Structure 1
Amino acid sequence: MKRKIFAGLAIRELREARGLTQLDLARRIGVSPSYMSQIEANQRSLSGTVIIELARVLRVDVSAFSSDDGVRLAATLREVLGDPTFGGLDMTQQELKNAALHAPKMARALVDLHRIYRRVEERYRSLDDALRASDGTVGSHQSAFEEVRDYFHFIGNYVDPLDRAAESLADRIGARSEDSLSRLSHHLETIHGISVSRHSTADGGGFVSTLDRARRTLLLNDSLPQATLAFAVARHLATLTLSDEIDAVVQAASFRGSDASAVCAATLANYFAGSLLMPYQQFAEEARRMQHDIERLATQFGVSIEQVCHRLSTLQRPGNEGIPIYFLRVDRAGNITKRHSATRLQFARYGGACPIWNIHEAFETPDRFLVQVAEMPDGDQYLSVAHAITKGGGRFDAARLRYAIGFGCELAYANEFVYSDVIDTRKSSAAVKIGVSCRLCDRSDCRQRATPPFDRRVTVDPDQRNIVPYQLG
């Protein structure tokens, strides 16, 4: 079923910024004043014709009226209100959507307030943090990463000025192939006067790169893969040449503290590096041509499998969007260390992912790409692909970090991915029923449930013992 689009608040803000009344705008797009009033009050959805006319009159891209932000915000609200602190507050999905549509600033304020509460609670419960409270560093590292992660989530994981700057530089130096490391190093030496050298530490240390600005040298860890080193050089190019642009983005984000600002600046440098090695237009075209074959794309652009998956999740340039995908990375303990979704699929903000999801199985078969049709409790189905990766290595005594990455798309786009060839997407019986997390999952028949959902009562029959020791009320 086609999703209805409501964008009343965005339309009103754009109209007022251009000094137009409701009557003015109604006349210019060819609708009645009452119809225009209903649109801004989110009582009427936007038709394709009205969206096109609004974009023309208000001089914006049609993506300005997308309801994806509202969908993501409603999903985030649902998870926040699922915290036991709210005492099982019973809000329907429609009420959450209405809050996201009609009062997005208030909804985001509630999300922010809950994040602050979580941070305070973590400080209180951690004896170690309490002992270190006097130096003012309690919990700051985690809260900064959470704040930056949420920021990228709400901007759609796309940063236009950095993406276009990277694409322009890639066109000039040709840094988009398997020899990208040598091309980037040559550019760094000839344009910026910084010599690049490679060195392997005697103790197998974990450094990747070290830039000495005073000596004009960049030292790379020679034991690491070419893709890792090329990414490191590209990241240093961002800090050397785009510091003003990065600072502007950070300032506009209005983070609460310097820690989050520093984390965001580093993340933006990484964003530029990925965009430089995989320039938007060429990468998007090759991704479609290769049916999003991750391994072929990694070879084509001289990057890692994880870098390809991460880049695919950023292809949200207005008017030239790629296939909307989700992307996440988990460690062996099930912690989600990276996550982004351009789809309606949402991840748990706290805790791990659903244990039935194929991303956990990937650790058992590290040489394979696992493919699954996953169905969420709301009925939405996704092509879900998982693969295990190893970082580090290069020598016998080097530390090796093991992760599993997951990516995928709504089933409607499955034929755009080569991985759909191994499954029959037409059979509903092929779908594996998963959830966001046990605490947020409504399924009453899951045999691998760890905890009951926050908003359901449980009953225990003393005369009957099932695999799950309680029933949901």
Structure 2
Amino acid sequence: MKEKPMIGHKIRRLRNQLGITQSDMAQAIGISASYLNLIEHNQRPVTVALLFKLGQSFDIDLKDFATDDTTRLLTDVTEFFADPSIAGHSVSKREMRDFVNSQPNIASAMLQMYTTFRSMKNDMQNAVTGVSEHGGVGVSSQAEQMRLYLQENDNYFHELEEAAENFTIEAGLSRDSLMGDLARWFKNYRNIDVQVVPADVMGNNLRRYDPHRVRVLLNESLRRPQRMFQLLLQVASLTQSEVIEKLVAKADNPAIADPLRNQLSGYFAAAVMMPYGPFLDAARKLRYDLDLIGRRFGVSFEQVCHRLTSMSRPGDKGISFFFLRIDPAGNISKRLSAGRMQFGKYGGTCARWVVHQAFRSPNKILTQVAELEEGQRIFTMARTVSVTWTPPGTIAPEFAVCLGCDVKNAKDIIYADQHDLGLKASVTPIGVGCHVCERPDCAQRSQPPLGHSIRFDPYRRVLGLYDPDA
């Protein structure tokens, strides 16, 4: 059964902004003041009917109000209390959950301060050692801020979807001849030549626009889907700057302006290659057969997974997917949370998760039904992905991508047919990450459980590195 959203803090904030009493708001939406008080303190959920009454009575964004951010906040607060800087303050998961439910605004403010602290600590480390814990000054914080912006928008941007549809029509693009159509558009409308250049000439450049010689150069090492994507990135730069700049301005965060421009350009490119309506229709009819969707649209496996996370158009939404990309060492290079699956800001992921097993079976889609600590069940698909060509004698980068959703949606996915999705089905217990996971019986644990210190018992040894009962 789908849980009703606990969004009392948003209603209380709206009421305070409007400057009205609980009695006034309660009368406007047809409930008692005492019941509204319970709602504002998250002691009662908000029903769909009540949500619509709020929308009719006040000028609010229903999409924003309907989004319950409790799971994300709980994940972030758990990370906060797992930080070694505040060791000695043992806080249970129940206490954290109660705190987030009753004081979400204070929790958000605390987390904002914690993010600033982490960034300052990172900068100081860089000043002393020359290398930050995340590979550069402010990089992790910047990437996290952009990820949160995408998540707040459900990774959906109607302006870019519309721009992609208009460009497709104006340029006369066809899915079956997209590469040739794009090259013709560059020549006919911009008098720009598209040239594929030998890899040794291009070096590390995948694409280079030469405005003086009026040409776009593509590295020959790129596969066809990658070539189309690179050309469309250039199209976005030449034709969509106004749309993109408006979205960057709406983000109102100068720290992420440049990477956000790049991200939004990629969004436009994906929307041209995989138009929203036809893509979502194909995904539903093919029951989210990732390989077959990729073949139908002439795109890569990773591009399909990326695009599926943006199927959030109001009135025509697809499954809410989360996305992750890791390397063999467990480092996360891309991540996008969704629904009740929220990734931690820092650290890696759970070693029990199927995405880590993908490297043992290259190019094979692995699946898993897993259960998080809070009881949320998720269905996950994982596979290794190919990267661009690398010169002989050099180490080729390896990645695996993971796409998943709430288990209640798995019945619509062809890969889940082999699994028992019932409540009594066997599941794999996983956590967000060792540093915030309290499962006491995990032999895979790389860090001690939250709130427990490391002790040595000379008369006893348990499975795994740490004994939470010691």
The reply to whether TM is greater than 0.5 is yes
Of residues 84-93 and 147-156 in structure 1, the stretch that sits farther from structure 2 once superposed is 84-93
Whole-Å separation in 2 of the counterparts to 1:452 and 1:380 = 23
Determine the structure 2 residue equivalent to 1:116. 116
SS state at 1:249 partner = helix
Determine the structure 1 residue equivalent to 2:79. 79
Whole-Å separation in 2 of the counterparts to 1:15 and 1:282 = 41
Whole-Å separation in 1 of the counterparts to 2:81 and 2:173 = 46
Whole-Å separation in 1 of the counterparts to 2:105 and 2:214 = 46
Deviation at 1:142, TM superposition (A): 3.8
Deviation at 1:345, TM superposition (A): 1.4
Whole-Å separation in 1 of the counterparts to 2:121 and 2:17 = 41
Listed as ranges, the matches of 1:63-462 within 5 Å are 63-91=63-91, 93=93, 96=96, 100=100, 104-126=104-126, 129-130=129-130, 139-173=137-171, 175=173, 177-202=175-200, 205-255=203-253, 257=255, 260-393=256-389, 400-426=396-422, 428=424, 430-462=426-458
Deviation at 1:354, TM superposition (A): 1.0
Inter-CA distance 404–210: structure 2 relative to 1 (3 Å threshold) = same
Deviation at 1:406, TM superposition (A): 0.7
Listed as ranges, the matches of 1:39-58 within 5 Å are 39-58=39-58
Of residues 190-199 and 260-269 in structure 1, the stretch that sits farther from structure 2 once superposed is 190-199
Determine the structure 2 residue equivalent to 1:30. 30
Of residues 432-441 and 422-431 in structure 1, the stretch that sits farther from structure 2 once superposed is 422-431
Whole-Å separation in 2 of the counterparts to 1:256 and 1:129 = 27
Counterpart code for 2:118: R
Counterpart code for 1:3: E
Counterpart code for 1:55: G
Counterpart code for 1:374: A
Of residues 21-30 and 162-171 in structure 1, the stretch that sits farther from structure 2 once superposed is 21-30
Deviation at 1:391, TM superposition (A): 0.4
Inter-CA distance 21–238: structure 2 relative to 1 (3 Å threshold) = farther
Inter-CA distance 17–173: structure 2 relative to 1 (3 Å threshold) = farther
Q: Which runs of 5+ in 1 are unaligned?
A: none
> C-alpha offsets along residues 184-236 of structure 1, whole Å, 9 cap, x if unaligned?
33333333343322212326723211112344321111221111111111112
> C-alpha offsets along residues 391-441 of structure 1, whole Å, 9 cap, x if unaligned?
012876786321000111111111111111222333745311111111111
Q: Which runs of 5+ in 2 are unaligned?
A: none
> C-alpha offsets along residues 313-359 of structure 1, whole Å, 9 cap, x if unaligned?
12222332211111100012210000012121122322221111111
Whole-Å separation in 2 of the counterparts to 1:285 and 1:15 = 40
Of residues 371-380 and 463-472 in structure 1, the stretch that sits farther from structure 2 once superposed is 463-472
Please report the TM-score for the alignment, with normalisation by the length of structure 1. Answer: 0.88
SS state at 1:408 partner = strand
Deviation at 1:386, TM superposition (A): 0.8
Whole-Å separation in 2 of the counterparts to 1:94 and 1:291 = 38
Inter-CA distance 131–421: structure 2 relative to 1 (3 Å threshold) = closer
Determine the structure 1 residue equivalent to 2:7. 7
Check the 8 A contact 1:124/1:130 in 2, yes or no. Answer: no
> C-alpha offsets along residues 62-102 of structure 1, whole Å, 9 cap, x if unaligned?
42322333332332222233212122544455654565566
SS state at 2:44 partner = coil
Deviation at 1:39, TM superposition (A): 3.8
Inter-CA distance 244–426: structure 2 relative to 1 (3 Å threshold) = same
Of residues 23-32 and 70-79 in structure 1, the stretch that sits farther from structure 2 once superposed is 23-32
Inter-CA distance 279–174: structure 2 relative to 1 (3 Å threshold) = farther
Whole-Å separation in 2 of the counterparts to 1:126 and 1:110 = 24
Please report the TM-score for the alignment, with normalisation by the length of structure 2. Answer: 0.88
Whole-Å separation in 2 of the counterparts to 1:388 and 1:209 = 24
Check the 8 A contact 2:370/2:428 in 1, yes or no. Answer: yes
Inter-CA distance 32–448: structure 2 relative to 1 (3 Å threshold) = closer
SS state at 1:63 partner = helix
Check the 8 A contact 1:129/1:138 in 2, yes or no. Answer: no
Whole-Å separation in 1 of the counterparts to 2:189 and 2:14 = 42
Whole-Å separation in 2 of the counterparts to 1:427 and 1:53 = 34
Of residues 460-469 and 170-179 in structure 1, the stretch that sits farther from structure 2 once superposed is 170-179
Whole-Å separation in 2 of the counterparts to 1:109 and 1:327 = 27
Counterpart code for 2:153: I
Whole-Å separation in 1 of the counterparts to 2:68 and 2:291 = 30
Whole-Å separation in 2 of the counterparts to 1:399 and 1:175 = 38
Inter-CA distance 71–351: structure 2 relative to 1 (3 Å threshold) = closer
Number of aligned positions between the proteins: 467
Check the 8 A contact 2:75/2:343 in 1, yes or no. Answer: no
Check the 8 A contact 1:315/1:321 in 2, yes or no. Answer: yes
How large is the RMSD of aligned CA atoms in angstroms?
3.0
SS state at 2:156 partner = coil
Whole-Å separation in 2 of the counterparts to 1:128 and 1:236 = 40
Check the 8 A contact 1:179/1:302 in 2, yes or no. Answer: no
Counterpart code for 1:53: K
> C-alpha offsets along residues 103-123 of structure 1, whole Å, 9 cap, x if unaligned?
555433332322222233233
Structure 1 runs (4+) greater than 6 angstroms displaced: 15-21
Counterpart code for 1:419: Y
SS state at 2:404 partner = strand
